[in-house]
Amino acid sequence: MVRTRIPPSPTGQDIHIGNLYTALINFAVAKKNHGKFIIRIEDTDRTRFQEGAEEKILSSVKAFGLHYDEGPDIGGPFAPYRQSERLPLYKKHAEELIEKGAAYYCFCTKERLDELRQQQIKEKKTPRYDKHCLILENGERTRLDSRRRVDARRGIENGEPYVVRLNVPANKTITFTDVIRGEIAINSNDLDDQVLLKSDGFPTYHLGVVVDDHAMEITTVIRAEEWISSTPKHVLLYQAFGWELPAFAHLPIIRNPDKSKLSKRKNPVWASWYLEQGFLPETVLNYLALLGWSHPKEEEIFSLETFIDLFELSDVKPVGPVFDLVKLTWMNQQYLQNKTDAQLKKLIIEFSPRATKLSEETLTALMPLLKSRMQTLQDFEAQTWLFFTNKLPDGTDKELAAELLEKFTGITDWNHAMIFAELKSIMLARKVKMSVFYQLFTGEKHGLPLPEVLEILGKDKTLELLKLAIV
């Protein structure tokens, strides 16, 4: 049984679009293999914790249609799915590591650590913990004198703050296979003695993720590329526990146009932002699917089901793609265009409650006009401005308005053909272009087809607007 997961941290205002991408791939891999997709909240950083973030993340994931099988709000066979509720588990495992000599207690103060780091930076060395507190529980000692070892034991008994660090062995080659990149090897000398358990009793990501992925029987760890460099530490932990390694796949990081990691300074990063802007969830997912992967027949528009069907994790390209809002917009327009009138109407009403101020009939008549002219749902209000106003835009050409009033008054059969005929006659007589009428009615040089719009607006309302514009 394939089991995948995403471990979001409730530290932002929503799920990051990059994490949504990771979620999509995790979801696809799980579904493709008839497995389970899980959400586990990694709320171990109480200083960055944000109230309400978890709810927001969960609701966003749902809004995009990535239904999870197990999670903090719905439970599951491995509950709880929130790390803050699993603290004893991490402590127990940290102690197990200490017994095995794979980890050790550390009482170093922040001051000493800072000093050490400054010194190393000054010497142009990579900042790294110096194993100052390393004492092996089995009685072996390293370079510590026995007095300090006794102090350490006493410190724990006295309730002094401590952390548990990973005891990285010297000069060992650590290897793991990445589904996307193949074999990756690193020398243990380049690894730091990472803190595993913090002084507040919470685990760091490294301990938490390994313990939980194993406990929750995760088979495939799919996460962003930025985790590659810490994977060897995780491998060390799996080995120390004697656990089987899951499959690893590190997805490319989505980039800003300047190629740096996608950041909120340079790009909209919160998933719900895209929804608020009037992008459809399926558009966003479709667009994301095309980052690092392509349809076998080079198709651009396809459903989530198709994606799941065709997707192969090993086909993902390891190159970090730039997020292109322009292409996303084009894609959204395609999706909107492919909707039926009824579907589009429903989407518009959900997005712009204000639309319900218009009659059902008006709304229905507007759909064919709108369909090819909307890039996002947000365009509805701008395009239909005329239907919500009581007065024409400022700077009206009064003379033109008067002429229109006169001609329109004479129309008995109010329909777009008749309306256009009158517009046409004015255009010929005055030697003006269609754009002057758009200017008059909307303040813009162009918009929804005017004759059709006026027909839908109705003769009474049209004449009323013109009259008001003249006085």
Query: Where in 43-102 is the site for RNA (CB under 7 A)?
Result: 44-45, 47-48
Strand, helix or coil for residue 32: helix
List 60, 332, 333, 376, residue binding RNA (CB under 7 A): 333
Of the listed pieces 31-39, 234-242, 322-330, 386-394, which binds RNA according to CB under 7 A? Answer: 322-330
Of the listed pieces 69-77, 92-100, 193-201, 391-399, which binds RNA according to CB under 7 A? Answer: 193-201
DSSP 201: S
Kindly tell me which of 338 and 356 has the beta carbon lying closer to RNA.
338
Cα-Cα-Cα-Cα dihedral sign, residues 258, 262, 265, 269: positive
Strand, helix or coil for residue 182: strand
Q: Compose the 132-171 pattern: x for residues touching RNA by CB under 7 A, - for all others.
A: -----------------------------x-x--------
Kindly tell me which of 175 and 356 has the beta carbon lying closer to RNA.
175
With binding defined as CB under 7 A, does residue 407 bind RNA? no
Question: Cα–Cα distance between 316 and 293 in angstroms, integer?
Answer: 5
Q: Could you tell me the strand order of the sheet in which 195-197 lies?
A: 103-106, 163-166, 195-197
19 near 8, Cβ under 8 Å?
Answer: yes
Kindly tell me which of 184 and 367 has the beta carbon lying closer to RNA.
184
How far apart, in Å, are the Cα atoms of 359 and each of 175, 239, 354, 362, 387?
66, 67, 11, 5, 11
Of the listed pieces 132-140, 151-159, 268-276, 431-439, which binds RNA according to CB under 7 A? Answer: 431-439
DSSP bridge partners of 183: 177
Site size for RNA (CB under 7 A): 90
The residues annotated as belonging to the active site are 264
List 100, 266, 373, 407, residue binding RNA (CB under 7 A): 373
Burial letters for 267-280: b for 16+ Cβ neighbours within 10 Å, e otherwise?
bebbbbbbbebbbb
Query: Please, which residues have CB within 8 angstroms of residue 328's CB and are 6 or more apart in sequence?
Result: 274, 279, 283, 284, 287
Judged on CB neighbours under 10 Å (0-12, 13-18, 19+), 221 is buried
Of the listed pieces 89-97, 105-113, 241-249, 400-408, which binds RNA according to CB under 7 A? Answer: 105-113
With binding defined as CB under 7 A, does residue 346 bind RNA? no
**Cis status, amide bond into 77, omega within 30 of 0:** no
With binding defined as CB under 7 A, does residue 175 bind RNA? no
List 30, 174, 358, 448, residue binding RNA (CB under 7 A): 448
With binding defined as CB under 7 A, does residue 198 bind RNA? yes
Q: Interface residues for RNA in 19-48 (CB under 7 A)?
A: 42, 44-45, 47-48
- Rounded (10°) CA dihedral 206, 210, 215, 217: 140
Kindly tell me which of 126 and 158 has the beta carbon lying closer to RNA.
126
With binding defined as CB under 7 A, does residue 261 bind RNA? yes
Q: Interface residues for RNA in 229-258 (CB under 7 A)?
A: 229-230, 252-253, 255, 257-258
With binding defined as CB under 7 A, does residue 340 bind RNA? no
